[in-house]
Structure 1
Amino acid sequence: MEPVLPLPKPRIHSIDILRGIIMVLMALDHTRDFFSNAAFDPLDLDKTTAAYYLTRWVTHLCAPTFIFLSGASAYLSSQRKTSRQTSSFLLSRGLWLIFLELTVVNFGWMFDPGFHLVFAQVIWAIGFSMIFLAALVYLKPLHIGIIGLALIFGHNLFDGIKSASWGQYKFFWMFLHEQNLYVISKTHAIMLLYPVVPWCGVMAAGYAFGTLFQFDPAGRQRLFIQIGLCCILLFLLLRLFNIYGDPRPWAHQHNLEKDAFDMMNVQKYPPSLAYLLITLGISIAALGLLEFTNNGITKTFTTYGRVPMFYYVLHIYLLHLAALFTAMGKHTSLNSLTAVGLGPQHGFSLPVIYLIWLSVVILLYFPCYWFMKVKQRRRDWWLSYV
């Protein structure tokens, strides 16, 4: 298989399609957060149902796939820039995303103008991963990929280290590798949901993966499917025998379905090696399968995939406002704008969740299509930050 040079200028449609699919799936998870009446964790095998479990688990694909594709897109973009220009853009965009996470995005989640509780989530992780990548782009893509894989495969070696042992510096370890709540003052705190070390690894690995798009479409399709299947097989090997890669070993549940569910129930916060192998394995294989796919459905996903940040912010505000109006209509005690979900007493069953999700996704298509066309027509510098 020989690489074809120079790198083709047209957009890689499979990236846009897969990114769009991921954005749609993400909205399902957040619709469940806002509207579900379930009083249990969907991944709790003692309480959940297969439908709830799978509804939650499939959305595990979202964050790692999006960050991985962001790394690949950064490489493709770098082919039209110098290393210094690429680094400068990644740095500025990373800082911008962190600012958005702490302001616009957090207000959308909580509707709390005082920002008493701030969530450091996926946009936070993407921002810091871009800053990390900005420092690496002066290296060869192969070396960047090795660094990324070292972080992905090696970070679980540090699972036994806890922030409590860091004393006054515990925030530093939470920021790097431990999901936890950091209390800033009596009235303010930050919930670090996305410790950055493994996510930096995912973006760096994605950047190196971007070099594979230089191969002809048929060649890279085979390669992507092979890489994806190898990731899945490695996940099965490590996880089936509880060798390494996740802080919580799975155990037999005396039920084949629950055995499978427990084995697949891998840690997301921070993402374990097992979590990243199975999610990225599925996504990389899907990227290959989407290589020659072009129809009305994929074009719809492409619309969402080309304006991901615009879609992300809109869907949070739309879901939260809809939940708020629903609560007011039910005359509930949700009289504060900071209330996020309807909860067990006033929420809805899973079929209604799916109906709300589809309605939201369809409604968002129209502003997303409009903004996609704006980005196609214009080359204003600020459009690359939205």
Structure 2
Amino acid sequence: MNAEQTLLSKRILTIDILRGLVMIIMALDHTRDFFHIDAMTGDPLNPDTTTGILFFTRWITHFCAPTFVFLSGLSAYLSAQNKTPAKSSLFLLKRGLWLVLVEIVIITFGLTFNPFYNFIILQVIWAIGCSMILLALFSRISYKLVLITGLLLVLGHNVFDFFPALNNGTSGLLLKIFFTASGTVIPLANNHFIGAFYAILPWTGIMFLGYAAGKWFAKDYNPEKRHRNLKNFGALALILFVVLRLLSLYGDPVPRKEYHDLFKNLLSFLNVTKYPPSLEYTCLTLGFALTFLAIAKNVTNKVSKMLSIYGSVPFFYYVIHFYLLHTILVILFFLEGNTAKEIIQIPFLFRPAKFGYDLWIVYGIWIMVVASLYYPCKWFKKYKATHNNWWLSYI
């Protein structure tokens, strides 16, 4: 392997390591949703009621979605280097539509196990799919347009915090879906609903910035300059987070709350808004993501190689882990003595509100699930590397 190929492999490996890390952490949050005793009834981020370990268990997963979306944009840029602009745009459009379909049909069923689809759940895959469709259009025009639009969306969408919410009519619904949704439930019929939990455009801004940052990872880009950019912009994002959080004037719809308790003040300082991703949330999470990419450039050990396995097949891992978690839930549901009469729960079948376990059991299930997916992910990575089937580019 020559020097250029070595730099290329390290550059891509770093991306896979970070993506693998957030995929593993992400599974912790979903495991908590399915199995923690208070997941359906409590708020793990409320400083008034939470504990340190419960807060951390939820808070650390904040880094997953924005990093995943950012790296999706970055990967889209790198993928486009091997295609004409027209082919790249068409691929992004088709993959975006495919991901929206996957969210509605495959992910929703994995979450709910409801064959009647009474509650369709639109989350991060939906946001990525819609953002890819927009990226297909904007990247076809120019790289600069993607960068400027991404900055405007990320820096400016919290302007809506200063205006009264539009709760009625089509305009209000569209505003929620595209900008302000934190949990919009749209009724389709008496017993069929759509839950739009990821407002599209704030996440589109994050993907667009990832696409723009992809330029730093191009094979002809100076490695030292890339390292300097990652380090400097990561530090800038974290400094901006601290400044905005201290001022509490702009950047998050929920200002931090002051307590007469140092620990609660710390929790309140870190408790930024994910739905939709506020500017403070984005600065905090992407600040760490960029810093990680900067410092992990020369990391090569057993842990990093393990992380890269998960990170190289994120879609495969993401889909399978939901089905595995929910299958375990069904088994424990019946082992706990529940009957068929108690299966029907909205939105998740087999998940009664009072069902669940202590946090240490949640961690045990999480570790077991992540470990059990290692060899399937390793197999699928090898399969992708040795096969050229057209459909593999969509998985």
What interval of TM-score do these two structures reach, taking the shorter chain for normalisation? over 0.9
Within 5 Å, which residues of 2 pair with 1:110-189?
110-159=112-161, 160-165=163-168, 167-179=169-181, 180-189=184-193
Q: How far has the Cα of 1:337 moved from its partner?
A: 6.2
**Which residue type is aligned with residue 135 of structure 2?**
L
**Which residue type is aligned with residue 120 of structure 1?**
L
Structure 2: 5+ residue runs without aligned partners? none
Match of 1:336 in 2: 343
Maintained 8 Å contact 1:108/1:320: yes
Within 5 Å, which residues of 2 pair with 1:276-291?
276-291=282-297
SS of the aligned residue for 1:26 comes to: helix
Maintained 8 Å contact 1:324/1:337: no
Match of 2:201 in 1: 197
Match of 1:257 in 2: 263
Q: TM-score, normalised by structure 2?
A: 0.92
Maintained 8 Å contact 1:231/1:278: yes
SS of the aligned residue for 1:184 comes to: strand
Maintained 8 Å contact 1:111/1:337: no
SS of the aligned residue for 1:286 comes to: helix
Q: How far has the Cα of 1:44 moved from its partner?
A: 1.3
For residue 298 of structure 1, the aligned residue among 293, 304, 311 is 304
Match of 1:367 in 2: 376
Residues 29-48 of structure 1 show CA distances to partners (whole Å, capped at 9, x for unaligned) of 00000010124110111110
**Which residue type is aligned with residue 162 of structure 1?**
A
Match of 1:209 in 2: 213
Q: How far has the Cα of 1:327 moved from its partner?
A: 1.0
How many Å separate the matches in 2 of 1:174 and 1:293?
42
How many Å separate the matches in 2 of 1:104 and 1:337?
19
Residues 200-239 of structure 1 show CA distances to partners (whole Å, capped at 9, x for unaligned) of 1111111111111243334322321221111000010011
Q: How far has the Cα of 1:344 moved from its partner?
A: 6.5
Maintained 8 Å contact 2:37/2:358: yes
**Which residue type is aligned with residue 164 of structure 1?**
N
**Which residue type is aligned with residue 104 of structure 1?**
I
Maintained 8 Å contact 1:182/1:192: yes
Question: How has the CA–CA distance of structure 1 residues 183 and 163 changed in structure 2, closer, same or farther, with 3 Å as cutoff?
Answer: farther
How many Å separate the matches in 2 of 1:168 and 1:136?
26
Q: Which moved more, 1:141-150 or 1:322-331?
A: 141-150
Q: How far has the Cα of 1:168 moved from its partner?
A: 3.8
Maintained 8 Å contact 1:141/1:211: no
Q: How far has the Cα of 1:21 moved from its partner?
A: 0.4
How many Å separate the matches in 2 of 1:47 and 1:147?
39
How many Å separate the matches in 2 of 1:233 and 1:220?
20
Match of 1:275 in 2: 281
Q: Number of aligned pairs?
A: 382
Match of 1:28 in 2: 28
SS of the aligned residue for 1:251 comes to: coil
**Which residue type is aligned with residue 44 of structure 1?**
N
Question: How has the CA–CA distance of structure 1 residues 187 and 343 changed in structure 2, closer, same or farther, with 3 Å as cutoff?
Answer: closer
Q: How far has the Cα of 1:348 moved from its partner?
A: 1.2
Q: How far has the Cα of 1:172 moved from its partner?
A: 1.6
Match of 1:19 in 2: 19
For residue 358 of structure 1, the aligned residue among 337, 359, 367 is 367
For residue 318 of structure 1, the aligned residue among 302, 316, 324 is 324
SS of the aligned residue for 2:189 comes to: coil
Maintained 8 Å contact 1:144/1:208: yes
Maintained 8 Å contact 1:35/1:343: no
Q: How far has the Cα of 1:103 moved from its partner?
A: 0.3
Maintained 8 Å contact 1:217/1:291: no
Maintained 8 Å contact 1:36/1:349: yes
Within 5 Å, which residues of 2 pair with 1:224-239?
224-239=230-245
How many Å separate the matches in 1 of 2:189 and 2:377?
39
Q: TM-score, normalised by structure 1?
A: 0.94
**Which residue type is aligned with residue 320 of structure 1?**
H
For residue 95 of structure 1, the aligned residue among 94, 97, 111 is 97
For residue 333 of structure 2, the aligned residue among 327, 333, 343 is 327
How many Å separate the matches in 2 of 1:58 and 1:35?
18
Q: How far has the Cα of 1:342 moved from its partner?
A: 4.7
Maintained 8 Å contact 1:36/1:341: no
Q: Which moved more, 1:331-340 or 1:292-301?
A: 331-340
Structure 1: 5+ residue runs without aligned partners? none
Maintained 8 Å contact 2:333/2:350: no
How many Å separate the matches in 1 of 2:300 and 2:134?
35
How many Å separate the matches in 2 of 1:222 and 1:162?
41
Maintained 8 Å contact 2:343/2:351: no
Maintained 8 Å contact 1:36/1:343: no
Q: Aligned Cα RMSD in Å?
A: 2.0
How many Å separate the matches in 2 of 1:362 and 1:217?
34
Maintained 8 Å contact 1:182/1:189: yes
